[in-house]
Amino acid sequence: MDGGIAVAGRIGPNAITQAAAALDAALPGDAVDALFAEAGLARYRHDPPERMVDEREVTALHRVLRARLPPAQLRALTREAGLRTGDYLLAHRIPRPVQWLLRVLPAPLAARVLLSAIRRHAWTFAGGGAFACAAGHPVRLAIASCPLCRGARLDHPACDYYAATFERLFARLVHPRARVTEVACEAMGAAACVFELRWRGCWRGSRRRWPA
């Protein structure tokens, strides 16, 4: 894998704000207030962060969500937060001309270009973790010392937020049938959290993947 070490300790505010949005859409406001208070993040309920946050705050929020929400609901809500983060990046961080270019490139080439951009910006989402990626089919992305599940011991993968964010970006920019699965997780004892991305219906050299 082609890797890079993230800047230690800071993560973009979407990890907090989009989690809050997903929770607010599904739970009563006082329940969300209680979750944020337990995580030590009550101040963000009235003053959402606009700049990079301490990665320990993200770790604490996910620790509380795992402790307080049923597994199926937890997975659905953290996945929704990841999809919302992908939508935010598409709307505000990835220039429209770049999005257009990626959509007209053959899917394997578009995947390589997008991976390069994700690797350059890994410091914004991996915190003190180390990000690595490899092109191919499947595409592989990995985060060692992952902030979402740091310190957790589970019998199932715990990083649906990252998986959903990656899936949204690749489905919108590389291939509409792109799907991401977390195939290894540090919470289960793996050396890193590893995500595999596959898409169906793509043929080598194809430039036509999007509905007319």
Cβ-based neighbours of 131, under 8 Å, separated by 6 or more: 3, 4, 5, 6, 118, 119, 122, 141, 142, 143
From the list 162, 142, 141, the residue with the least C-alpha distance to 85 is 162
Residue 201 has pLDDT above 60, yes or no: no
Q: Tokens at residue 7, please?
A: 């800047």
Model confidence, pTM: 0.91
Q: Tokens at residue 169, please?
A: 């970006």
> Residue 51: which pLDDT band, with cuts at 50, 70 and 90?
very high
Cis peptide bond prior to 157, omega within 30° of 0: no
Given the structure tokens 């592989």, which residue do they identify? Answer: 140
Q: pLDDT > 70: what percent of the chain?
A: 91
pLDDT digits (tens, 9 = 90+) for 96-114: 999 999 999 999 999 999 9
For the domain made up of 2-9+71-198, give the CATH fold: Muramoyl-pentapeptide Carboxypeptidase; domain 2 (3.30.1380)
Contact 187, 151 (CB under 8 A): no
Give the model's pLDDT for residue 59: 97
Cβ-based neighbours of 119, under 8 Å, separated by 6 or more: 2, 3, 4, 131, 133
Mean predicted confidence (pLDDT) in 79-95: 98
Give the model's pLDDT for residue 1: 66
Residue 124 has pLDDT above 80, yes or no: yes
Dihedral of CA atoms 14, 17, 21, 22 in degrees, nearest 10, equals: 50
Residue 2 has pLDDT above 80, yes or no: no
Residue-averaged pLDDT of the chain: 92
Contact 14, 85 (CB under 8 A): yes
Q: What are the beta bridge partners of residue 144? A: 130
Contact 44, 16 (CB under 8 A): yes
pLDDT digits (tens, 9 = 90+) for 18-48: 999 999 999 999 999 999 999 999 999 999 9
Residue 81 has pLDDT above 90, yes or no: yes
Q: pLDDT > 90: what percent of the chain?
A: 89
- The CA distance from 55 to 59, in Å, is 6
> Residue 189: which pLDDT band, with cuts at 50, 70 and 90?
very high
Mean predicted confidence (pLDDT) in 153-163: 97
Lowest mean pLDDT among 47-61, 144-158, 161-175, 197-211: 197-211
Contact 35, 47 (CB under 8 A): no
- The CA distance from 148 to 152, in Å, is 9
Mean predicted confidence (pLDDT) in 117-130: 95
DSSP summary character for residue 54: E
pLDDT digits (tens, 9 = 90+) for 56-76: 999 999 999 999 999 999 999
Residue 40 amino acid letter: G
Strand (E) or helix (H) holding 198 = strand 193-198
In this structure, what are the phi and psi dihedrals at residue 75, rounded to the nearest 5 degrees?
-65, -40
From the list 182, 53, 59, 22, the residue with the least C-alpha distance to 124 is 53
